[in-house]
């Protein structure tokens, strides 16, 4: 509706990062927006504990994607955000972790801009930082690591070429954080070794970081594949490679 040059009931989309799983790690702003939204469109990896914080009166739409079986594909999610905002609604697009770290938040912001929809970005704590912290693994330390790289272990299969150069990463950073890499663990480890990484390099796999189901598997590059197989490690998980992993036993606070 347009009155006197002013558009009334104009909708808006909030791209909100819900954090890594522990409901107490969502931002104050993110929680406020959830409590005052008209509709929340949420992803599969948003924890159940976060969903339970949303008042019952607010419409909730599941837009999760399972490997090879999306409930809604990305185009449908984009259309849904635009349609709801054009109704004048306050739409929260709720994503796990951080909006702009391997979460397609940048793509969704572009789509909203092109459609003329107002939007705001509310960052969240990524599991890339939170899972290691809850496992007692600092990503940097004066005695162990001065550089960090965060990469995805699952690139878009439709891309003409992969952007992650695993062999180069093997020698270029002290700490390597890999998201969504469990299914390609064997390939990643093989590339690390071919790139010159020592087989004795420490590695940790943190499943369901920051939640009551958190589980940490520690090893070295030469034995982690067997350990992960024996423990039936599964996603969602964060992989940490580097000497910094050696601090896990010393400063891991959660299990104490």
Domain edges within the chain: 6-122, 127-251
Among residues 81, 95, 98, 180, the one annotated as catalytic is 180
Among residues 38, 60, 65, 174, the one annotated as catalytic is 65
pLDDT at 78 over 80: yes
| Catalytic-residue membership of 89 | no
| Catalytic-residue membership of 43 | yes
Chain mean position to CA 157: 19
> 253: which DSSP letter?
-
| CATH 1.10.287.110 is the classification of domain 6-122 | no
Among residues 43, 95, 179, 192, the one annotated as catalytic is 43
Interval 99-157: pLDDT, tens: 999 989 999 999 999 999 999 999 999 999 999 999 999 999 999 999 999 999 876 54
Candidate CATH numbers 3.30.950.10, 3.30.450.20, 3.20.20.140, 1.10.620.20; the one for domain 127-251: 3.30.950.10
| Catalytic-residue membership of 192 | no
Rg (CA), the chain: 20
| pTM of the entire predicted model | 0.89
Q: What is the pLDDT of residue 158?
A: 52
pLDDT at 164 over 90: no
- Token readout for 196 is 């010159």
Helix (H) or strand (E) holding 150: strand 148-152
Interval 194-207: pLDDT, tens: 999 999 999 999 99
> 182: which DSSP letter?
G
């Amino acid at each position: 509706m347009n009155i006197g040059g002013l558009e009334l009931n104009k909708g808006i989309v909030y791209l909100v990062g819900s954090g890594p799983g522990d409901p107490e790690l969502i931002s104050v702003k993110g929680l406020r927006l959830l409590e005052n939204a008209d509709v929340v469109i949420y992803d599969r990896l948003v924890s159940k504990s976060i969903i339970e914080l949303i008042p019952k009166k607010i419409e909730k739409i599941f837009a999760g994607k399972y490997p090879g079986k999306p409930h809604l594909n990305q185009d449908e999610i984009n259309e849904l955000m635009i349609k709801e905002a054009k109704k004048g609604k306050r739409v929260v697009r709720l994503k796990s972790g951080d909006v702009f770290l391997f979460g397609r938040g940048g793509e969704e912001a572009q789509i909203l801009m092109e459609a003329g929809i107002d939007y705001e970005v509310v960052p969240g704590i990524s599991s890339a930082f939170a899972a290691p912290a809850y496992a007692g693994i600092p990503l940097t330390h004066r005695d162990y690591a001065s550089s960090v790289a965060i990469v995805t272990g699952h690139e878009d299969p439709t891309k003409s070429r992969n952007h992650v150069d695993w062999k180069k990463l093997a020698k270029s950073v002290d700490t390597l954080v890999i998201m969504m890499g469990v299914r390609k663990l064997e390939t990643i480890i093989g590339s690390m070794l071919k790139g010159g990484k020592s087989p004795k390099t420490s590695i940790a796999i943190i499943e369901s970081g920051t939640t009551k189901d958190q589980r940490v598997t520690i090893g070295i590059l030469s034995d982690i594949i067997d350990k992960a197989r024996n423990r039936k490690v599964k996603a969602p998980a964060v992989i940490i490679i580097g000497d910094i992993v050696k601090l896990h036993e010393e400063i891991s606070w959660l299990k104490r």
